[in-house]
A and B are shown apart, each in its own frame.
Chain A
Amino acid sequence: MFTRRSAALAAAILLSSPALLGGASAADKPTDPQIAHIAYTAGVIDINAAKQAQKKAKNKDVKAFAEDMLRDHEAVNKQALALVKKLNVTPEDNDTSRTLSKQASDKLAELDKLDGAAFDRAYVANEVAYHKAVNGALESQLIPSASNAELKSLLQTGLKIFQGHQQHAEHVAAELK
Chain B
Amino acid sequence: MPGRVCSTAMAVVFATMVVPACAATVQITMENLEISPNDASAKVGDTVEWINKDVFAHTATAGSGDFDMNLPAKKSGTTVVKKAGTVEYYCRFHPNMKARLKVVP
Contact = CB atoms under 8 A, between A and B. Distances in A.
Given A157-B32, A157-B33, A164 B91 contact: yes
A162 to B, nearest CB: 9
Interface in B10-39: 32-34
B86 to A, nearest CB: 22
Contacts of B93: 68, 72, 164, 168
Given A157-B32, A157-B33, A168 B73 contact: no
Nearest to B73: A75
A112 B34 CA distance: 36
Chain A interface helix/strand/loop/mixed: helix
Chain B interface helix/strand/loop/mixed: loop
Sorting the interface of chain A by its residue count into under 10, 10 to 19, 20 to 34 or 35 or more gives 10 to 19
Nearest to A75: B55
Interface of A: 68, 71-72, 75, 78-79, 157, 160-161, 163-165, 167-168, 171
Given A68-B57, A72-B93, 16 more contacts: A68-B93, A71-B57, A75-B56, A157-B32, A157-B33, A160-B33, A160-B94, A160-B96, A164-B95, A164-B96, A165-B94, A167-B94, A167-B96, A168-B92, A168-B93, A168-B95
